[in-house]
Amino acid sequence: MAQIETDYLVVGAGASGMAFADTLVANSDADVVLVDRRHRPGGHWVDDYGFVRLHQPSALYGVDSRPLGNDRIDTSGPNAGFYERATGAELCDYYTRVLDEQLMATGRVRFFGMCDYAGGAAGSHRFVSRVTGRTSTVRVRRKLVDATYIQTTTPAHHTPAFSVDPGARVVTPNALVEGNHAGSGYTVLGAGKTSMDTCCWLIDNGVDPEDIRWIRPRDVWTMDRGAVQPLELVGSIVNVFAAWTDAAVEATDPTDFVRRLEGCGSLIRLDPDVEPEIFRGAILSADERTALRSISNVVRLGHVLRIGTDEIELERGSIPTDREQIHVDCTAPGLGMPPERPIFEPDRIIIQRVQFGLDVFSPAMIGLVEATRDDDDEKNRLCPPVPAFGATTEFARDFTRAFLVSQRSRLAWMAEPDLDQWLNATRLGFFRGIAEHLTDPEDQANLMSMMQNTGPALENLDRIVAAEMAEA
């Protein structure tokens, strides 16, 4: 049995684990061991479908120490006018380079791929090789870091919740790029980002929208890609946050807050006539929304229960199908939304979101706080987890709570000189280079408005959230 010793054992070398380790190592002399069940770093990007790409700009993704892409605004194609968005293949290559050229190059980071974490406590942990079956014991001087708590489930490794009759054609999005799947039409199952990517890919590859049927158990809110652009286009983000702050000042309850965000164009319905119930992080361009809205055959009869050769059974009815229909399973939940818990515990760190909408910023900030603070109570004060809201039944309430926690945390960081300095410089944050890029007088006025209204906005949200929670 191999014996290993380290300061931090990080379980999961996906986007979260890599962002945490990168910032921790850059701001301390810590030794880190990374363990992952995959053969290379990158997490779910290693397993994802061939046409997957970021919904957000590459300029806001990855790790703090290494740019992703060239911070370039695309001038042609479907992403024209927006900052480049990395493909899945580009992300896998990026994380391999981060590991080899940034982390392992320090001499303080070791990576063990194809290994499963096997548990442990009190500073003694184990992992098992998926290749040899051999167990390694790790003595952890500081903490275990669980970077899998918010687990991303991809279509390739998802077990459907519905049954499939022999002879029915059901594929994952991964399979679409692997061979000839021409049939009588396509039925896309699911309402999240994967289903949207799949529908857009089918249309881009010549499938008539009339030949696509989209089963959406619940409709989702989306955001506009033009509203979340950094650097030279950072005015778009400032305008969004100014509008959100104005809405927070005036809102009378969580539902009213969401309505106001819809009114200013921050939250957008996929179907203008259907009230969304959830938000799964989809960021779409106007062209993508137009393409998705061209699919008129949308089925809203709940979740799929069974796919047969002649019918599909759903929670609230059934619809016909046939043996030649291609059913594309996009029902994997994607990014997990477990209940929040304290991030810093005596012997471990549980990576969670600490900022709304910035999934890799969050583990990086946690890594910085771990590297620069000693007391767990103080660390938890600076990094309270953002409540899950994407798939909850009380969307408006939990969405409002998430925004409130995010904004309160940002104020706490701004009050700490070292965290504020990092906040303004990190490539993973919305406002990097804002002083340099925010030159339009209207954008500057919106920034001042946002700053002036933040206090009243949080006071009002505190009040309406407390009232909502008291009634729950």
Is 262 inside a domain boundary? yes
Tell me: pLDDT of 392 over 60. no
Nearest alpha-carbon partner for 289 in 199, 357, 366, 229: 199
Token pair for 472: 């729950």
Q: Are residues 293 and 166 in the same domain?
A: yes
**40 membership: H or E segment, kind and range:** none
CA distance 197 to 192: 9
Nearest alpha-carbon partner for 230 in 426, 406, 90, 20: 426
Tell me: pLDDT of 232 over 90. yes
pLDDT tier, 433 (very low <50, low <70, confident <90, very high otherwise):
confident
Those residues with Cβ within 8 angstroms of residue 82's Cβ, 6 or more apart along the chain or in another chain = 57, 73, 74, 225, 226, 229, 233, 285
pLDDT digits (tens, 9 = 90+) for 130-176: 999 999 999 999 999 999 998 877 787 888 999 999 999 999 999 99
Q: Are residues 311 and 178 in the same domain?
A: yes
Q: Are residues 149 and 79 in the same domain?
A: yes
pLDDT tier, 422 (very low <50, low <70, confident <90, very high otherwise):
very high
pLDDT tier, 333 (very low <50, low <70, confident <90, very high otherwise):
confident
185 sits in the region (left: phi over 0; alpha: psi -120 to 50; else beta) called left
Sequence-ordered alpha helix ranges (H) in 84-224: 88-97, 173-176, 193-204
Tell me: pLDDT of 108 over 90. yes
pLDDT tier, 209 (very low <50, low <70, confident <90, very high otherwise):
very high
Sequence-ordered alpha helix ranges (H) in 331-440: 361-372, 376-382, 395-414, 417-425, 434-437
Q: Are residues 210 and 85 in the same domain?
A: no
Q: Find the mean pLDDT for residues 328-351.
A: 89
Q: Are residues 65 and 128 in the same domain?
A: yes
CA distance 237 to 386: 20
Is 367 inside a domain boundary? yes
Tell me which amino acid residue 135 is. Answer: T
Is 393 inside a domain boundary? no
Q: Are residues 198 and 284 in the same domain?
A: yes
pTM recorded for the entire structure: 0.95
CA distance 155 to 332: 5
Tell me: pLDDT of 352 over 80. yes
CA distance 199 to 298: 12
Q: Find the mean pLDDT for residues 388-403.
A: 79
Q: Are residues 295 and 172 in the same domain?
A: yes
pLDDT at 469: 80
Q: Are residues 14 and 107 in the same domain?
A: yes
Is 394 inside a domain boundary? no
Tell me: pLDDT of 390 over 80. no
CA distance 207 to 210: 8
> 418-437: string of b/e by CB count within 10 Å (b at 16+)?
ebeebbeebbbbbbbbbeeb
Nearest alpha-carbon partner for 123 in 137, 143, 147: 143
Q: Per DSSP, which regions of 83-134 are E strands?
A: 109-112, 115-121, 124-129
Q: Between these two residues, 387 and 251, which has the higher pLDDT value? A: 251
Q: Are residues 169 and 133 in the same domain?
A: no
Is 299 inside a domain boundary? yes
pLDDT at 472: 63
pLDDT at 434: 87
* 79 half-sphere exposure, CB direction, 13 A CA radius: 17
CA distance 73 to 190: 31
CA distance 117 to 63: 23
To 5 degrees, how large is the angle CA 259–CA 264–CA 266?
A: 85
Tell me: pLDDT of 24 over 60. yes
Handedness of CA 431, 435, 438, 442 (dihedral sign): positive
Three-class SS state of 164: strand
CA distance 239 to 444: 9
Those residues with Cβ within 8 angstroms of residue 74's Cβ, 6 or more apart along the chain or in another chain = 80, 81, 82, 83, 84
pLDDT at 261: 94
Tell me: pLDDT of 298 over 70. yes
Of 318, 352, 386, which marks where a domain is finished? Answer: 386
Of 331, 356, 371, which marks where a domain is finished? Answer: 331
Of 312, 331, 350, which marks where a domain is finished? Answer: 331
Q: Are residues 141 and 85 in the same domain?
A: yes
pLDDT at 393: 57
CA distance 285 to 235: 17
Q: Find the mean pLDDT for residues 21-42.
A: 98
pLDDT digits (tens, 9 = 90+) for 59-88: 999 999 999 999 999 998 889 999 999 999
Q: Are residues 144 and 164 in the same domain?
A: no
pLDDT tier, 291 (very low <50, low <70, confident <90, very high otherwise):
very high
Is 46 inside a domain boundary? yes
CA distance 241 to 217: 31
Inter-residue contact 183 to 176 (CB < 8 Å): no
pLDDT at 25: 98
Tell me: pLDDT of 21 over 80. yes
Q: Between these two residues, 47 and 388, which has the higher pLDDT value? A: 47
Q: Are residues 341 and 325 in the same domain?
A: no
- Give the domain range for residue 357: 2-153+336-386
Those residues with Cβ within 8 angstroms of residue 435's Cβ, 6 or more apart along the chain or in another chain = none
- The alpha carbon of 463 is separated from its chain's Cα centroid by a whole number of angstroms, namely 28
CA distance 433 to 179: 45
Look at the chain and report how many structural domains it folds into: 3
Is 103 inside a domain boundary? yes
pLDDT digits (tens, 9 = 90+) for 354-385: 998 778 999 999 999 999 999 999 999 999 99
* Residue 347: CATH number of its domain: 3.50.50.60
Token pair for 12: 């999961």
Is 392 inside a domain boundary? no
| pLDDT averaged over every residue in the chain | 93
